Amino acid sequence: MRNLTYGDAPGGGHPTGRSRRSAAAQEGESSPERFAELSPYRAEREWTRYEGTAQRDLFRELRERFLERNRRACAWTLDGGAGPGRFTALLGGSGARRVALDLSVEMLRLARSGRAGAPGAEGAPFVVRGDLGAAPFAFGSFGQVALLGNVLGFAGPAGERLLSEAERLLTVDGLLLLEIAPGPGVRSAYLERLPASAVGRLFEAPPRAVVPRILREGFVREPRRHRERGFKRWSVPEIVGRYGAPLWAVQEILAVAPALGADPARIGAVASRRRAWARLLETEEAVGHQRGCWEESAAVLVAVRRTGGAPVPPPS
């Protein structure tokens, strides 16, 4: 198993020939140490949080479908804050070399374990321990850069710096994939008032019969479940406003599971019906592409293409 180092990073390492201290270290804005010192148990939990229940399967499959739609043929891809590498293999096209960057040794150990295969093989990442705010790569090195799993939110005030670094690492015509958490979550008001068994039967129907009803009645906001000290909620308008023409083009915006949300009973009722499950995925995507559910959704995925402008180093 092999780790990339500054010398053999894509693009030949940092253009100055030396690493930069992270934004957190420079500004004291966040605490990367809490992620760097995660236990093996916490790393394993991060891997398994997308499996084991119908609700977790729904959240995982919608993310996988988003990444499949936004694959990009390129030489190198970067999964920034990759964790155990759950979605790293879905970045880039066939032949792309994938890099998983994370602060946690345990997360990276899991990313390069037998689950991922040998480093350099199709779908298996090279791993780099480090902070995206001090990325040891040359600017413009990657055809695809992903910041998934609320990396930006957990970075708090340092999220702006991380996002700027991700932008600079992207090639012209490269694709930036982001996950943000605008709100506590939503679910369909229409589906919420139906019994779980009726929801299971309803999704036997094609999406065109279900989506208009969901949109007509709107959404119920989930209650906030915990304190959010240090967590930054990025909004969709904030992201869209950042990525305007002529340098950027927003390719896709998708709220994750706004129809059934975090409703295990109704999701389970649909999961028991094979055809209903396939149509639920299509329905969730049709609804998730609508602006009306973005503002309070717990997870929104955004794909943005760099259409011009050569990446430049940050101001000194």
The burial of 314, by beta-carbon neighbours within 10 Å (0-12 exposed, 13-18 middle, 19 or more buried), is given as exposed
| pLDDT at residue 6 in the model | 32
Query: pLDDT by residue (tens digit) across 287-303?
Result: 999 999 999 999 999 99
Residue range 219-246: average pLDDT? 87
Residue 251 has pLDDT above 70, yes or no: yes
| pLDDT at residue 244 in the model | 87
From 90, 112, 92, select the one nearest 101 (Cα to Cα).
112
Say what the pTM is.
Answer: 0.85
Contact indicator for 155, 180 with CB cutoff of 8 Å:
no
Residue 272 has pLDDT above 90, yes or no: yes
More confident residue, 124 or 256: 256
From 234, 264, 226, select the one nearest 59 (Cα to Cα).
264
Buried b (16+ CB within 10 A) or exposed e, 113-130: eeebeebeeeebbbbbbb
For residue 31, count other CB atoms closer than 10 A to its CB: 13
pLDDT band at 267 (very low <50, low <70, confident <90, very high): very high
From 70, 168, 208, 65, select the one nearest 57 (Cα to Cα).
65
* Distance, CA of 182 to CA of 215 (rounded, Å): 19
pLDDT band at 248 (very low <50, low <70, confident <90, very high): very high
What percent of the chain is modeled with pLDDT above 70?
A: 80
Query: Which of left, alpha, beta for 83 (phi over 0: left; psi -120 to 50: alpha)?
Result: left
Rounded to 5 degrees, what angle do the CA atoms 70, 281, 46 make? Answer: 70
Contact indicator for 66, 252 with CB cutoff of 8 Å:
yes
Rounded to 5 degrees, what angle do the CA atoms 272, 274, 278 make? Answer: 115
Residue 110 has pLDDT above 70, yes or no: yes
Peptide bond into 246 cis (omega under 30): yes
| pLDDT at residue 223 in the model | 86
Query: pLDDT by residue (tens digit) across 114-173?
Result: 454 444 445 578 999 998 888 889 999 999 999 999 899 988 999 999 999 999 999 999
| pLDDT at residue 310 in the model | 64
DSSP secondary-structure letter at 132? G
Pairing of strands 142-147, 248-255: unpaired
Locate 272 and state its tokens: 């028991």
Contact indicator for 263, 189 with CB cutoff of 8 Å:
no
Contact indicator for 100, 127 with CB cutoff of 8 Å:
yes
Q: Which residues share a beta bridge with 76?
A: 97
Q: How far is CA 281 from CA 173, 286, 288, in A?
A: 29, 9, 10
pLDDT band at 7 (very low <50, low <70, confident <90, very high): very low
More confident residue, 18 or 192: 192
* Distance, CA of 251 to CA of 79 (rounded, Å): 19
Residue 12 has pLDDT above 60, yes or no: no
Q: Which residues share a beta bridge with 180?
A: 300
Q: What share of the chain is helix, strand, coil (3-state, %, to 5)?
A: 40, 15, 45
> Mean pLDDT in the chain?
84
Q: How far is CA 74 from CA 69, 100, 144, 297, in A?
A: 15, 16, 7, 31
* Distance, CA of 28 to CA of 126 (rounded, Å): 29
From 292, 259, 66, 69, select the one nearest 179 (Cα to Cα).
66
Residue range 86-95: average pLDDT? 91
What percent of the chain is modeled with pLDDT above 90?
A: 63
Residue range 238-264: average pLDDT? 95
In order of their start, the domains of the chain are 6-180 (3.40.50.150)
Query: pLDDT by residue (tens digit) across 16-30?
Result: 233 333 333 333 434
User: Of the ranges 33-47, 57-71, 205-219, 239-253, which one carries the lowest mean pLDDT score?
Assistant: 33-47
| pLDDT at residue 33 in the model | 55
| pLDDT at residue 48 in the model | 82
More confident residue, 235 or 108: 235
| pLDDT at residue 55 in the model | 96
Residue type, 110: L
